[in-house]
Amino acid sequence: MRRLFEIDLKDYKDTYSVFRRPSARAIIIKDNKIALVYSKKEKYYKFPGGGIHEEEDKKEALIREVREEVGLVVIPETIREYGSVLRRQKSTVEENVIFEQENYYYFCDVQDEVVNQELDAYEDEAEFVLRIVDINEAIVTNAAYTSDDYFNEIMIKREKKVLEMIKQGSK
């Protein structure tokens, strides 16, 4: 898969150990709008998706995460690669650890029905909901996003940049 860009804060020492948490993220376009996770508490948009389990295929993770986070059912044969974004920064959870996340983005289609979300505790706390919005609304919302949680801020900057790249590609 082609690398779209990298985010490396270089806020760590090379001697730190590396914790890798790859993720799969869905780009779902419906009626010229984009389906995204919206955090009602934090007021940002992100692509549905999340961590790939150790024995899990990227596409299996994509299907599972989209269903859990937003209740949409991915049609497996429609999954197509878009690109990846590598993120590296000092862990905010453990000392002397580098958090490294390769985010794999895929275009895909979904069934019309929406099933129940199965949110993790932090997702429930952030009040994740499905929103199908104009891509410009998502870009503007994420551009205005600030947080005391720097980890979230970097994630939302990444999502904004990917949204902008998708918008450029659609012209």
Distance CA 26, CA 28 (A): 6
Domain of 123 in residue numbering reads as 3-169
Give residue 171's pLDDT. 45
Q: Indicate if the pLDDT at residue 23 is higher than 90.
A: yes
> For 38-82, what is each residue's pLDDT tens digit?
999 999 999 999 999 999 999 999 999 999 999 999 999 999 999
Q: Indicate if the pLDDT at residue 145 is higher than 90.
A: yes
3-class DSSP state of 54: coil
Phi first, then psi: what are they for 63, rounded to 5°? -60, -45
3-class DSSP state of 137: helix
Q: Match 């999954």 to its residue by tokens.
A: 79
DSSP string, 50-119: EEPPTT--HHHHHHHHHHHHH-EEE-GGG-EEEEEEEEEEE-SSSTTEEEEEEEEEEE--EEEEE-----
With contact defined as beta carbons under 8 Å apart, do 159 and 47 qualify?
yes
Instruction: Count up the domains in the chain and report the number.
Output: 1
Nearest to 61 by CA among 71, 46, 78, 74: 74
Give residue 151's pLDDT. 87
Residues 6+ apart with CB under 8 A from 55: none
Q: Indicate if the pLDDT at residue 31 is higher than 60.
A: yes
For residue 161 the two structure tokens come to 């940049």
Please tell me the pTM assigned to this model. Answer: 0.95
| CATH number for the domain harbouring residue 159 | 3.90.79.10
